[in-house]
Copies of this chain bind each other. A is one copy, B any other.
Amino acid sequence: MTTERAAAGQPRRSHARSNRVRLLAAAREELGRDPDASLDEIARAAGVVRRTLYGHFPSREALIDALATEAEERLEDAFTAARRPGAEPPAALAGLVLASWEVGDHYRMLISLARRRLGEERLRAILAPARAEAAAILDRGQQDGSFGTHLPAPVLALATESVVLALLESQPSPQRSAQWSDPTGAAAATAVLVTAGVAPAAARIYVQAALRTGR
């Protein structure tokens, strides 16, 4: 505590570094369970005293911000890895969903946090590029006839995003027992294509192809 170097991104001692990671993980976990979880609960879940948390993150807001930054980076990584410039719109959209699935699952609690006062725009900013990219693909697909025009492209992007989020939230977790599960995101991707107006049978084929290309 005397030398508050820990507040920066990189603590020097290894144990401190791992504590920082565990705090962030615990924050994801606890805030996912309850968006109003106290810092005490989070610290405790990380196997650390509350006072220690303040050594790493000066405030609750700073903690959440660090979480958001983490999610931002992962999402960006996943996207650039999945980007296929020349692909047909349905294939591109399927790839996008598949790529987002894992990281989205990891950080889904941020969505409920986003409804809060603090960080609303911040979180919106994180999702914005994703939605923009989806909207662009959807727009392209509406023009070449592969998607339906029952909704304007930006609204359609909203709808598909919500489907992904809803299916994410229905996934089994430590708290919620499993009714069904979709580890690869294939079902989610199919559902998104269908929502965009692709016939279910065709959608399934696109997703299968994207799955093969992906890994």
Contact = CB atoms under 8 A, between A and B. Distances in A.
A170 interface: yes
Interface size class of A (residues with CB under 8 A): 35 or more
B150 A203 contact: yes
A194 B195 contact: yes
Contact of A36 (B117, B170, B203): B117
A200 interface: yes
Contact of A194 (B34, B148, B204): B148
Nearest to A161: B166
A154 interface: yes
B117 A150 contact: no
B197 A200 contact: yes
Given A149-B200, A190-B150, A116 B155 contact: no
Contact of A166 (B115, B149, B159, B203): B159
Contact of A191 (B151, B161, B203): B151
Given A159-B163, A162-B163, A150 B204 contact: yes
Interface string A146-171: 00111110111011011101110010
23 contacts: A35-B116, A148-B194, A149-B200, A150-B190, A150-B194, A150-B203, A150-B204, A151-B187, A151-B190, A152-B180, A154-B179, A155-B170, A155-B180, A158-B167, A159-B167, A159-B195, A161-B166, A163-B195, A191-B195, A194-B194, A194-B195, A194-B197, A195-B195
